Amino acid sequence: MPRILIPSALRQYVDRQDVVEVSGATVGELLEALATRYPELRRHLFTAEGKLRSFVNVYINEEDIRYLQREATPVGEADTISIVPSVAGGNATVAATPPSLSREEILRYSRHLIMPEVALEGQLKLRQASVLLVGAGGLGSPLALYLAAAGVGRIGLVDPDAVDLTNLQRQILYGTPDVGRKKLEAAAERLQALNPGVRLERYETALTSENALEILRDYDIVVDGTDNFPTRYLVNDACVLLGKPNVYGSIFRFEGQATVFAMPGGPCYRCLYPEPPPPGLVPSCAEGGVLGILPGLIGVIQATETIKLILGAGRPLVGRLLLYDALNMTFRELKIRRNPECPVCGDRPSIRELVDYYELCGAPRHSEQQGASQWDIEPRQLKQLLESRERIVVVDVREPHEYRICHLPGAKLIPLNELPRRLHELDSSEEIVVHCRSGQRSAKAVELLRQAGFRKVRNLRGGILAWSDQVDPSVPKY
């Protein structure tokens, strides 16, 4: 019977299984059988009109069904179907090489110099190369460390954030004393200590449509270590417009992806994911979690591909999507084809300048995220209501393992993915306050409840994190 491999982002809808066997003669029949068996999965795979969502790619064995017969592609008993939702070779151009390395550089890079694939010529290429890292977090940490150690001459870092205690589980550029410091300040200190010969350029700003082309223009290679869809599409489009290779990586829970986009004749990110998923449908690492080791492995793969591009060595991941599953310790490779109809890199591109990527992805800008909606309630307001003994039903829409970490007294646990089928457990005549970790999932829950006819429902702004900050510091933050 054909197997369907379920990515971790969708396993909560299929009873936590990573492989499901269903029967059917075509890919479409298999997916329909899967959605029928697990109804909550349907909206993640299909539109309201029953069409396969454009941000969900489906492969049979190693082939993208878009280049076969799409949903009508026949399936044999031994075939494997992969669902790949969005969770954003050759030489890089380098400047003329200097005549030689210093005595200190020869000693520092000696293990490179004795490799015929690198040797003196390759090390000089590394010294003259320039690489921009978009993001100095989980992926950016191993990338920056290994590229600096390898002797990449100029490294640019783009990141506006400060170091948070929660970063230290995976962002190995930083240590406990760095908490509260600007990331790029701490990163520059660490990288210069590792290799004083590397020139570092810091951009303590968010990458935007207004500044992206200016920042990316002077670098040979761009490495995408971002954590949100607007920036992924922005990096992709800017790389295509500027003709820069885009070394891509993404992580979620126990799974990672890596490939190289925007090489001549190769696909770009939009070829793989023509449209972003609806806001909130794909959880971030902050909401869904990530194994701390995972970004190290994917970041090292990105660093490897970057160095191969600089050296012009080996076979780069162009047109190949590498999938890593840490739980099963497996690597799989899927083909990615350039889409001739792609609006950015296709034969007749319609996108010739950067657009509004927050509007494209339907995502709120940072300033909008800070503003309260009309359905929000502040933590102190909820505390006052609870102390006044008013009848308030508090609903926690996090997962059971999060509830065990910490929870509000008397809160009723109904995980977000279970909420549609458990509406009967709530009384629409009662005052309901919904909360999650940070307020994102609960905002979605409030929208769902209001669509179901609930009118006395509000969202705890900032979630249990804000409750810990403003009401009860004994509640642990995670």
Q: Which residues are catalytic?
A: 285, 436
Question: Cα(310)–Cα(89) distance, rounded to whole angstroms?
Answer: 10
Q: Which two tokens stand for residue 219?
A: 């670098």
Amino acid letter at 31?
A: L
158: β partners = 134, 203
Angle at alpha carbon of residue 151, lines to 264 and 127, rounded to 5°: 60
Per-residue DSSP letter, 129: -
Q: Which two tokens stand for residue 168?
A: 């230290």
248: β partners = 224, 259
Instruction: Give the distance between the most distant pair of CA atoms in the chain.
Output: 80
- Buried-exposed string 45-74: b where 16+ CB fall within 10 A, e elsewhere: bbeeeeebbebbbbbbeeebbbeeeebebe
User: Which of 398, 388, 405, 453 shows the shortest CA–CA distance to 427?
Assistant: 453
Q: What is the signed CA dihedral for 92, 97, 102, 106, rounded to 10 degrees? A: 40
Strand-strand pairing, 457-460 and 431-435: parallel
Residue 243: how many CB atoms within 10 A of its CB? 10
